[in-house]
Amino acid sequence: GAGVSQSPSNKVTEKGKDVELRCDPISGHTALYWYRQSLGQGLEFLIYFQGNSAPDKSGLPSDRFSAERTGGSVSTLTIQRTQQEDSAVYLCASSPQTGANEQFFGPGTRLTVL
């Protein structure tokens, strides 16, 4: 079946503008994760959704970042008043359940803040 999809693939915005990044997980996957990959760095956890439980927001770097997951499927990561340091690749992943199951990653959205 289809893998995790993300849109847009690339986004260029001006400092101070808001952006929305979208993630469509694999159908039936109950867990959804957002990670950020800055240039030359590993992936940094941002937020995690599992079913109907309250999301784990412990990785969000500031209150300018928020995410929601509607209907237990599609997720949107919103960054308000973007800053240049927000420039990175934002990766979404989903998995069937918690535990040892593999996280399946999307191709990411490259965000550039001018």
Partner 1 sequence: AQTVTQSQPEMSVQEAETVTLSCTYDTSESDYYLFWYKQPPSRQMILVIRQEAYKQQNATENRFSVNFQKAAKSFSLKISDSQLGDAAMYFCAYRSAIGTASKLTFGTGTRLQVTL
| Contacts of 29-32 spanning 24+ positions with Cβ under 8 A | 29/94, 29/95, 29/96, 29/104, 30/72, 30/95, 30/96, 30/97, 31/94, 31/95, 31/96, 31/97, 31/98, 31/103, 32/69, 32/75, 32/92, 32/93, 32/94
For the CB of residue 20, give the shortest distance to partner 1 in the complex, in Å.
19
Interface with partner 1, residue 91, by CB under 8 A: yes
Q: Which is nearer to partner 1, 20 or 56 (CB)?
A: 56
Interface with partner 1, residue 35, by CB under 8 A: yes
For the CB of residue 64, give the shortest distance to partner 1 in the complex, in Å.
20
Binding segment (CB under 8 A) for partner 1, from list 19-27, 60-68, 74-82, 106-114: 106-114
